[in-house]
């Protein structure tokens, strides 16, 4: 059984109270929510993806266009971790809160599909998805299931069945714009919510990092659950520098009594 300090318990109680009173609560999730599921984040020293690789050299649109083999070499171990990962208690709690009508949407910076695996339905994927791949020549879209086994087992680069060109996972690489539909929906949710809960995001990547500011500028409450400090800690009603997979179930348990 997880034990928290007295101060942390008070913050958990207050977060549960805010969530219970919210009419339209929205979650913004980042890589820190998925690290307990075995997926590395980007910036943690020593373990983060960008502590080992230069992002513009391995995960940019330019690299994909000029040296796709280099991208797929880098992506292979990450893909294996993502597709073998399972939702942790944090993901499961958010899905349960959505089912109970406590939260209305999840805006995620993650591409790991763990929210959907956990049962969440209204998920806005800001950085794209691994469920599909698109041809770089004829632009036809393909489902990942047809290519994943060969890629994970043999490193086979996926190619279009129609024209033979390389297929690109439908995730946003450096140098690409965010999906317009997702960005529009995310801004709409940020502007209409009366509570935003940031979970596992350092709020360092724009423009997604601006969404909580859009919410609080319109009077919304803000809860931040993240291991590191964010630029909006000073504006938040509740800041919990704890493991989201442990804190979220504790908040949810108290919501029914708040």
Catalytic residues: 127
* 155-190 burial code (b ≥16 CB/10 A, e <16): eebbbbeeeeebbbbbbbbeeeebbeebbebbeebb
Q: Where are the alpha helices (DSSP H) in 148-208?
A: 148-154, 180-192
Specify the DSSP element, H or E, that contains 17.
helix 6-21
Are 150 and 167 in contact, with CB atoms under 8 Å apart? Answer: no
- Percentages helix, strand, coil for the chain (3-state, rounded to 5) are 45, 15, 40
* Tokens matching residue 241: 């520098």
CA 153, CA 223: separation in Å to the nearest integer?
A: 41
The residue with tokens 């601006």 is: 210
């Amino acid at each position: 059984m997880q034990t928290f300090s007295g101060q942390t318990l008070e913050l958990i109680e207050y977060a549960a109270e805010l969530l219970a009173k919210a009419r339209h609560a929205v979650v913004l999730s980042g890589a820190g929510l998925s690290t307990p599921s075995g997926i590395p984040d980007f910036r943690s020293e020593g373990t983060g993806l960008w502590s080992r690789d230069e992002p513009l050299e391995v995960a940019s649109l330019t690299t994909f266009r000029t040296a796709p083999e280099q991208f797929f070499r880098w992506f292979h171990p990450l893909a294996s971790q993502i597709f073998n990962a399972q939702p942790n208690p944090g993901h499961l709690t958010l899905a349960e809160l959505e089912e109970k009508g406590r939260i209305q949407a999840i805006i995620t910076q993650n591409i790991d599909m763990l929210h959907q695996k956990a049962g969440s339905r209204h998920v806005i994927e800001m950085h794209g998805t691994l469920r599909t791949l698109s041809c770089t020549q004829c632009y036809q879209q393909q489902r990942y299931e047809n290519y994943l086994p060969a890629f994970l087992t043999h490193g086979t680069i996926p190619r279009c069945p129609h024209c033979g060109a390389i297929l690109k996972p439908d995730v946003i690489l450096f140098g690409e714009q965010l999906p317009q539909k997702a960005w529009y929906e995310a801004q709409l949710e940020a502007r209409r919510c009366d509570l935003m809960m940031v979970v596992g995001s350092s709020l360092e990547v724009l423009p997604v990092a601006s969404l909580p500011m859009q919410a609080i500028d319109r009077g919304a409450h803000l809860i931040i659950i993240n291991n590191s400090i964010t630029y909006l800690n000073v504006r938040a009603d509740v800041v919990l520098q704890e493991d989201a997979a442990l804190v979220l179930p504790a908040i949810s348990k108290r919501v029914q009594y708040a």
